[in-house]
Amino acid sequence: MSSVFGYGSSQNNDITLDSVEIEEIFKDQEGQTSPSKWSLQELKDKFHKMEMEDLYRKYRVQQRHSLLITLILIGIGAGLSLIAVILVHHKSFFEDLPSILTVIISTFVFVCLLILLYFDYIIKHLMKPISIIVWMVLVTKVYLLIAFRTVHLPSEYLGFILFMILVTYTLLPLSVRDACIVATVTCLPHVIITCVLAIGTIEEKTLQIAGNIVAFICVHLAGFYHKYMTEIAHRKMFLDTRSCIESRIKLDHQQIQQEKLLLSVLPAHVAVEMRNEMIQRIRDEPHRYHGLHRNSGSTTHFHNLYVKRHMNVSILYADIVGFTALASECSAPELVKTLNELFGRFDKLAEENNCMRIKILGDCYYCVSGLPISRPTHAVNCIEMGLAMCDAIRTVREATGVDVNMRVGVHTGNVLCGVLGLRKWQYDVWSHDVTLANHMEQGGVPGRVHITGATLNELGGKYEVEPGYGHKRDEYLGDAGVDTFLVIPPQQSPTSSSPSPGSAAMSGIRRRKSTARKVARYLESWGADKPFANLSEVGMSGKGVGSGLYVMQVNMLAMTNVDHQTKVAYRNQLMERKVSERLLQAIEGKAAEKQWLKSEDIMRGTLTFLDKDREKQYCKLKDSFFKSYLGCAFVVYLCLVAVLLITLPKTWMLLVSCIVSCFLFLSIIVIVLANHIFCYCDQKPAGKWLTDSINSVLRKRWFRRLLTSITLLMIYTMGIVNILNCDFSVVPTVLPTNSTVELLSANDTSSYVSPYQFTCQFPPYFIITCLLALTSTMVFLHIAYWFKAVLMGIALAVYLLVFNYTHADFIDAYDKAIFHSAGNDDFMMTRWGGSLYLATLFITLVILDRQMEYTSRLDFLWQSKFGVEKEEVETMESLNKVLLENVLPKHVAEHFLKSGMKSDELYHQKYNLIAVMFASIPNYKEFYTETDVNKEGLECLRLLNEIIADFDELLSKPKYSCVEKIKTIGSTYMAAAGLHQLNECDGDDDKPLHTLERIDEEGVVDKDKEDSRAKRALYYVGVLTEFAMAMMTKLEQLNKHSFNDFKMRMGINHGPVVAGVIGARKPQYDIWGNTVNVASRMDSTGVIGHIQVTEETSKVLTQLGFTCQSRGYVTVKGKGQLKTFLVKRLDKSLSQTAIH
């Protein structure tokens, strides 16, 4: 069957899951993923526990792929730039040929790797080996370039090594542990080479090596922090993505369950309209679940009417003759099982014969053929259906020896079909033709199909018939002058289909308890579906899930006789497979979404959300890691200061700048950590106000940006400001003083003194401090990337200006002093190499920051969508609750939704004492006419809908909370009080119903139980009587507004009943028993405008203070003469004092 709502369809080969299991899984996972703060180890443990590590690796593949491509592209660009610098500034091409070839080969390798990374197989299986190759190419290139140098300095290619450490943590797809190992291996050879080959005095080398180590440690810490925090962010985002997927699955489950539930009660053409109305109502008024039918868009006060007219259909009524006596011998489980098996078989027959079951009334079953789709064979369908029902009952009679039979009546005409009222929706049909079909059954013959002339005309001579003489058995048929006929079953003589003498003789045989059980066991062999069995399953067909050996095993499992827990465990595995499959599909979908391309949600330039409201919500997010950003930035600052103190002269300017910047930095940290530092002041008003104010301000994005700006600008300034104190001068006479730079040739250990004198001994370390200063930007992970890019851009412009303009001579003089003194006139200037390092680092950091913000915003987007999904799930849950409670009483609905309920269970409950009411409007039949003026009866039904809806609204009053509407039968309203009580009949389930009735009549019960039952009888009977009187008042009010004169006739009785749910395709809650039958007779034999009760019920009402007037003895079908009473209406409530 295709989905009528446009989502999810169930196929025969679908794998299914218990809805209870889905709910339990989601509850467990919500508990697992709800915390907002995790350590990386906790997250890893959680992933292993939830078996998500493999999926997470697949999730990270595409992100790491893009980062690796970024690194290769940066490597290619840096290599080409380096070649250009070498060619422009070097005089001898052949002397630099090894270096040029090294860069060219490494660049070519990068190009080849870039091509390989566009193949899916390489991406999925060889990402880590390629990342190791990329690292090896970078390391090999830098150390070959160092090896080809004729003069070795401690600072040579130091910027390149720092960059490699940084990209090892940020761009290479390695774990945190592997990144630490690889980064250490990257820098260790440089330290060794510097110690062995670098020129200069031991003191100078020691200072520079110490500075190098501090710089390495600084970049290590910054890279480790970035790797650690981004890993946490990605894992949290993965959990959020999984939560969103789970929510989507749950929403799909709710939608499928809702569809099946609605379609189990209503036909598709009515269900679509009602569902849309209900969803809108629940969203508008989430706390008013039952006021769903009033037309809010209309200026009138009428409720929505879901009724359609269908012409030329055939109506079949069927009644099981002899079932009432059999039912009295059944225990509660036997009765419900028997009814479910019988009507389950009839439902299958209806489906086979293209008939739609309308309703079950006790042991009466009626259906229609020809709606909602008109069928030319509707009459034939009903005849075949009737004959099949008679055959089914005959097999029961022959197999069990129990005298039961089927009486069937069929008529062809027009009907109005739909749903009336606000509660306990049941699809029904109305028209004069429906009434006639009902009387055709009542005037029929057991074991035969009784039809009218209208139906006979539609058969086209397909069946042999004989006169039915229905007017002799039913007065209505005689008054209407209807000619009736009995269908002669094929291959049978007219006399052979009548009940046999043996069967008639059986009717005198006394039925025993074993007879009922024999019937129940025989009917159980038919294997009818259980009510709501389809609602406990969700179709899980899908690619890779719904086929193969696994499906065969699951389907075989359903056919085997294993315990419920085994089935639950097996289906639990399927749920995990389904979630993993959907998550994998989401990962593939996210992989296809590139952050540089156009998006429906995010502006690709600034990464702001296109939805302004969402952008405002994102800006209001609290950054819980901002304190750690400042802490890590402070560590980078300390490392930078350490490098300055190690490599620069200890001047006043250096000391003052360090003290002032450190004071400012500590002040910022104190502000951020105020709530921790001043926690002892929380009890004092002033201290509490201070900490609360600071915390409130920290939540503001502008304030975080302000602190970030101050911090970064201060670090940027510290990286370059002390160069203002550096200068050089030409020394005409060489003096071997400590203030000169002594250089040792790489090949000659003789002393040589430079002609330049420098106030700062190691100018290249200004480039290193600038690199460290820019590196501090990356630790502020959740600050807008464009904001950081602007700050870095300003710093980069200042650095390039200083190195290439204001202090270019100073740095060039250092190069000349170093390389000329070593006899090497062909070298790359330090400021050009430094500019290349700074520019490359700037580009890398901008890309990294952009990627981090994109991940953060995507995380927020998923969380936002998850919130929407969650709201939709809650709406669907509310709708399902409304649907289920409009099919079943609340306590019965909870039974079907409760955890651990087996899908093959039948619901049944036996009650010792229930009050039952039938309320009809006899003169509605006179009001109902089918003319063009009232749209062939449609407007008459509109008024009946208003009446029933008003009655339903009474049930929402707290005083009537124990009253439950059972159903409506035409213009008759059936309700009962006391069904919500818990198992007050425990231990009596196996007793036949007539035994409980005898106990009730004879009073064979202990004193405590008798007192308890007496109080309940007072309460339930009193409340139901008051409800009946309130219905009369409601009808009188409606009469005033509609200018009608409807009158009610009511009957109330109390006693034991059996309740249960029967029918798999259209589950229906009902109650059975002698109490129900007598209550119905109290209505049908009652007096218009009055409430008629039995003598036992009148005694209860008299104790409550009601006035009951004896009517005398009334003939009741099946009971003979019963003394009845009429209840006088009251103006005040008396039932509420019954239990006090």
Kindly state the helix (H) or strand (E) to which residue 965 belongs, with its residue range.
Answer: strand 963-969
Closest CA to 1067 of 340, 404, 420: 340
For 70, which DSSP code? Answer: H
SS3 of 900, please? Answer: coil
The encoded tokens of residue 314 equal 């055939």
Q: Which residues contact 303 (CB under 8 A, 6 or more apart)?
A: 293, 294, 295, 422, 945, 946, 949
Sign of the torsion angle spanned by Cα atoms 771, 842, 599, 111: negative
Sign of the torsion angle spanned by Cα atoms 986, 991, 992, 998: negative
Is 337 tagged catalytic? no
SS3 of 1025, please? Answer: helix
Contact 211, 646 (CB under 8 A): yes
Cα 420-422-426 angle, rounded to 5 deg: 50
DSSP 714-771: HHHHHHHGGGGG--EEE-SS----TTEEEE--SS--S-EEEEEEESSS-THHHHHHHH
Q: What is the dihedral of CA 178, 179, 183, 184, to 10 degrees?
A: -40
Contact 451, 443 (CB under 8 A): no
* Rama region for 1063: left / alpha / beta (φ>0; ψ in -120 to 50; rest): left
Q: Which residues contact 1041 (CB under 8 A, 6 or more apart)?
A: none
Burial of 540-571, coded b for 16+ CB within 10 Å and e otherwise, reads bbeeebbeeeebeebeeeeeeeeeeeebbeeb
Cα 54-56-61 angle, rounded to 5 deg: 100
- Please compute Rg for the chain using Cα positions: 44
Burial of 812-843, coded b for 16+ CB within 10 Å and e otherwise, reads ebbbbbbbebbeeeebbbbbbbbbbbbbbbbb
Q: Which residues contact 939 (CB under 8 A, 6 or more apart)?
A: none
Is 1081 tagged catalytic? yes
- Which residue(s) pair with 309 in the sheet? 416
Spell out the long-range contacts of 613-619 with Cβ–Cβ below 8 A and sequence spacing 24 or more: 614/861, 614/864, 617/860, 617/864, 618/857, 618/860, 619/701
Half-sphere exposure of 744 (CA within 13 A, CB side): 15
What is d(CA 430, CA 199) in angstroms, rounded to the nearest whole number? Answer: 107
What is d(CA 694, CA 699) in angstroms, rounded to the nearest whole number? Answer: 9
Burial of 169-201, coded b for 16+ CB within 10 Å and e otherwise, reads bbbbbbeeeebbebbeebbeebeebbeebbbbe
Half-sphere exposure of 267 (CA within 13 A, CB side): 22
The encoded tokens of residue 706 equal 């302000």
- Which residue(s) pair with 977 in the sheet? 915, 963
Sign of the torsion angle spanned by Cα atoms 760, 766, 772, 773: positive
Give the orientation angle of helix 564-592 with respect to helix 549-559, to 10 degrees. Answer: 150
Choose the catalytic residue: 462, 1117, 1123, 1128: 1117
Active site residues: 1081, 1117
